[in-house]
Structure 1
Amino acid sequence: MLQILGITSPIFVLIAIGFLCVRFAVVSREQIAGMGKFVITLALPALVIKALTERPLHEVFDRNYLLAYGIGSLAVFWLGFAFSRWVRRDGLSGSALSGLGMSMSNSGFIGYPIVAMVLGPTAAVGLALGMMVENLLVLPMALALAEAGDQRGVGIGRALAETFRRLLRNPIIISISIGLVLSLLEIPLPSVPRKAIEMLAMASAPVALFVIGGNLYGLKIGGMFADVAQLGVGKLLLHPLAVLLCLLVFPVQDPALRVAAVLFACAPMMSIYPIIGQRYGLEGRCAAALVASTVLSFLTISAFIAVLH
């Protein structure tokens, strides 16, 4: 147990430092937002390009990993959507966001630092593969459903078209495309840009953890136990279990990648979850779920590491 705490504790120490720095006005929310933008637009894309260009494409592209992670994530998304829609009688937008919160991990800000500490360089490959599923499948589907249920009456076709246009400008999607092209054509990066990319990639984990801690300050749970319980159980338990079961059907040859898939699924929902919810008037619910899941993930991630070890 002490070994597991030795792996997970530094992650949450950095999160706590970010939280305290905002709490005591060492850094402002605007500065935290700027750091988050740096991670999303530069550091994580650099990490993805580094992962995809360091190894031949056939070693990076793992069909079974994509199938297991994708099918497991989709199963949990639709389970969460159905439970919210037909059991809890939630609206279409709320049900879509419930499914999104249960099935899309905070892969960059929490998942990657933890997996990197457990597995090393394999974490970057898992991050790139997982982000293909999250950014090309889960997120567009959830946003299209949420837009269709919005009071403004935006049709699902228009929502899909707008989502597709946004994805084309997404730095992560652009970096995945660049990395895949370079790997497919076997074009090596020159030494200077390669070194710059490596330096940016190294900054992704610590800055990301600091940002998630800063973003947690000021978020309140208050009276949303049912929503928080559903999203917490779905994200922290059902999602990794679903991916683990799918790995039995679609076995991944590399044992490190198998562990990476489950640990990425263990991470709480993405830190921009309340921002997405704000568009549909559900920021309170999303923020409460984010706070609770991030705190409880310390226990669940440690438990999964123990079991997988």
Structure 2
Amino acid sequence: MFDIIRLILPIYLLIAVGFVLIRIRYIAPADLRGAGRLVIRFFLPLVVFAAVGAGQHDTALHPMLFAAYVGGSLLSYASAYGMAWMAGKDHGVRAFEAMGCSCSNSAFFGLPIVTLVSGPAIAFDIFAMALLVENLIMIPLAVSIIEAESGLTWPKLRKLIFGVLTNPLLVGAVAGLIWKATGLGLPQIALDAIGLMTPVAAPVALLTVGGAVAELSLRTFRWGVVRITLCKLILHPLWVGLMILLLSGMPGDLQIAAIVNASLPMMSVYMLFGIRFRREDVAATALITATALSFVTLSTLLYLLR
């Protein structure tokens, strides 16, 4: 168990550093957000394109693994929706809580963690798969269900589709898959240039996670926060793991990487959705709680999977 804690502790130390840098005002929040935007809009799309386009695996196109991750995410969404329904919450609250339980922080959190556990090749392929599942299925589905409460109009739907199709990370992953399908290799000079970005992207991403948490504050602690946190950190990886057992035929290292990715806290933009749907108090508290508790749940999961 100590070896596992020692494995992931540097990840959480970098998050803690980002938290402290913002709290003591050593770095302005806008500066760290700017660095995070540079990583998410430029570094990571290129790194993912090169990793997927020149990778050795076909994880993102592995039908059984893709189906298992989709199925597990949908079951996690349904579980959270049902838990909120039994608690007497209205449709909007149920749908918003379910969104936080079905989409991981794959970009800022998933890549560093899965890289440590399974290596960079599998990590980038799992990342590409998670991007496809979350951005093409889970997020549009969750937003559509929430918007349905006030009427899902064509302008809202068009804005949602445009946002999905212009996501830089998704564009990089899809472009990499298309390039790989052509069978063409990537020039070595391009791979070398993109390779210089890889060591920079992960630490900046983790510092950004810590900075984002530092800008939040614990609001009113509600039972909704408990439901979201437990469902995301426990039920999401559990459902993905059960779906993987049902849909056999994939390598064990890919199975572990997919379950680990599902066990991570919810996506950072959950707070933005919270502001948009006027539930920022629950979103902020859930993000802080899930990020802190994930150290315990992730360590336990890796110990069980080792």
Which residue of 2 is the match for residue 65 of structure 1? 65
* 1:157–1:81 Cα change, 3 Å: farther
Q: Which among 202, 205, 218 is matched to residue 205 of structure 1?
A: 202
For 2:142 and 2:170, how far apart are their aligned partners in 1? 17
For 2:162 and 2:208, how far apart are their aligned partners in 1? 27
Check the 8 A contact 1:50/1:179 in 2, yes or no.
yes
The aligned amino acid for 2:269 is I
For 2:115 and 2:59, how far apart are their aligned partners in 1? 18
- The answer to whether residue 217 in structure 2 is matched with residue 216 in structure 1 is no
Compute the displacement of 1:93 (Å).
2.9
For 2:17 and 2:249, how far apart are their aligned partners in 1? 37
Compute the displacement of 1:168 (Å).
1.4
Check the 8 A contact 1:76/1:238 in 2, yes or no.
yes
Check the 8 A contact 1:144/1:156 in 2, yes or no.
no
Check the 8 A contact 1:228/1:285 in 2, yes or no.
yes
- RMSD, aligned α-carbons: 1.6
The aligned amino acid for 1:45 is P
Compute the displacement of 1:5 (Å).
0.9
Which residue of 1 is the match for residue 237 of structure 2? 240
- The answer to whether residue 76 in structure 2 is matched with residue 79 in structure 1 is no
For 2:94 and 2:156, how far apart are their aligned partners in 1? 16
Check the 8 A contact 1:140/1:160 in 2, yes or no.
no
The aligned amino acid for 1:90 is K
Aligned residue pair count: 305
- The answer to whether residue 193 in structure 2 is matched with residue 192 in structure 1 is no
For 2:222 and 2:90, how far apart are their aligned partners in 1? 18
Compute the displacement of 1:218 (Å).
3.8
Which residue of 1 is the match for residue 100 of structure 2? 101
Which residue of 2 is the match for residue 249 of structure 1? 246
Describe the superposition over 1:206-258 as per-residue Cα deviations: whole angstroms up to 9, x where unpaired. 11100000111142224323011101110000000000000011124221111
For 2:289 and 2:203, how far apart are their aligned partners in 1? 21
TM-score with structure 1 setting the length:
0.94
The aligned amino acid for 1:143 is V
For 1:33 and 1:56, how far apart are their aligned partners in 2? 33
Compute the displacement of 1:157 (Å).
4.8
Which residue of 1 is the match for residue 277 of structure 2? 280
Q: Structure 2: which 5+ runs fail to align?
A: none
Larger mean Cα displacement after TM superposition, 22-31 or 201-210 = 201-210
Describe the superposition over 1:71-94 as per-residue Cα deviations: whole angstroms up to 9, x where unpaired. 00011112212322x223333332
For 1:258 and 1:299, how far apart are their aligned partners in 2? 21
Which residue of 2 is the match for residue 118 of structure 1? 117
* 1:250–1:206 Cα change, 3 Å: same
* 1:252–1:202 Cα change, 3 Å: farther
Larger mean Cα displacement after TM superposition, 127-136 or 50-59 = 50-59
For 1:100 and 1:204, how far apart are their aligned partners in 2? 26
For 2:249 and 2:284, how far apart are their aligned partners in 1? 35
Aligned with 2:217: secondary structure? coil
Larger mean Cα displacement after TM superposition, 162-171 or 88-97 = 88-97
For 1:58 and 1:273, how far apart are their aligned partners in 2? 29
Which residue of 2 is the match for residue 139 of structure 1? 139
Q: Structure 1: which 5+ runs fail to align?
A: none
Which residue of 2 is the match for residue 175 of structure 1? 172
For 1:92 and 1:197, how far apart are their aligned partners in 2? 45
The aligned amino acid for 1:50 is A
Check the 8 A contact 2:59/2:126 in 1, yes or no.
no
* 1:74–1:157 Cα change, 3 Å: farther
Check the 8 A contact 2:18/2:207 in 1, yes or no.
yes
Larger mean Cα displacement after TM superposition, 98-107 or 191-200 = 191-200
